[in-house]
Structure 1
Amino acid sequence: MNDGKKVIGRYEVDNHWVVPYNELLRKYNAHINVEIVAYFYIVKYLYKYIHKGFDKASIVIYNQQDNVQSEVIDKIQQYLDCRYISSFEACWRIYEFPLQQRNPLVERLQYHLENQQVVFDDRDNIANIVSRVTEQRTMLTAWFETNAIYAKVRSLTYVEFPTQLVWIDSRKIWIRRKRGKSIRRLYYAHPTFGERYYHHMLLCIVHGPTSFTELCTIDEIIHDTNKAACIDFGLLDDDNE
């Protein structure tokens, strides 16, 4: 609220400058900071406060019979950086009530280049790596297989697939969605990732391929790389005029 008081210096300011002024201050008689999300640092500012973690408190432990003012204060001994839980949150956790919920479901779609789905260590035995059949069948390869079996789902891209089907991780298969909905997200791929980045682009626009080769096939032209397919799709510019 403007009380008419000003500080005369290089600028004339009043208490409108404390926080961005808005009508919510007067309506609720409280400190409310409203920011316009116009710059990227505003999003970072809001995200930091939402996800900064649990509340914490600094406490001091001492014997009430001791003369605290006369003794030497050992900060390492007396001050503890500890997690603070209010009585309401403590009861909520004791009774094991749900602390949060997420709706709708966010489906993180896995993807990889051809024959790069098995993760292994250099010290692993090659025979054990080859025998990992369950790891060779992934969310992406199962998508190819489902497109080959069911023609009705071939109108969907990889990103659109979870709108009508659900991934069962224990069985490594896609099944028909009976209820609910989900938000689909592909794992991020930076442009410096090379073929994986172009592979990411194709999965967002190609409908119903049954293999990695068909994913890179456009108008019956088979491209050797994902980048070449993206250029043919018009997703990238080349040096040709």
Structure 2
Amino acid sequence: MKGVSDLELRRLADLSDDELAEAYAPRGEPWLRVNFVSTVDGAAQGSDGLSGTINNDADKRVFDALRTRADCLVVGAGTLRAEEYDVPRVPLVVVSRSADLPPTLRDAPRGRILMATVGSSDGLAAAREALGEDNVLVLGDDEIDLAGLKAELAARGWTEQLCEGGPSLFADMLAAGVVDELCWTVVPVLTGGDAVRMATGADVDVALRPVLLLEQDGTLLGRWLVE
């Protein structure tokens, strides 16, 4: 096992866009990374319940670099609704046991949005009508098989998979053992209160190993590999 002595420390401003992309190259295939931003005291959202109110220019640069690298995005339906996602450049996989498609995605071109859901979902027929049967992945009867989801996306050629939350999906992915990497931005603010953390719900005990730490104006941006 490699130790913390292998941690690479760099200034974000010193990296070109190509160097930044290379700094986040995956360590294998398929590779599922999860990207989050939080305050120093662990809040994964601002006072309005959205992550956008705590991110900054440094976080946005890495966020964009990870999206540029990704073959697909995997996001929980609740996060998509709360953050009012637009249709991204890469295919977006909506994870929802209810198979409920967020309103901002309903007019997306066919094939740009996939639904990962379960056979018992009341919304299954509507999702198939809206997205096309090939774009609705039924992965279990009552609970979504997240290992099956990772494998199904890899079978489509999407080996670099990026998850942007939310916290309950992240915890479920950790519990399922499918996460390879956490990309974590820590913005230099404290918010207090009872804001949601990055992972909520499932109890997990997952060891991480830091391999990269970038800094810009007090913001820390790191890569943590799951052991």
- Specify if TM > 0.5: no
Larger Rg: 1
> Which fold has the larger relative contact order, with Cα–Cα distance below 8 Å and residues 6 or more apart in sequence?
2
TM-score by length of 2: 0.27
Q: 1 or 2, which has the higher strand percentage?
A: 2
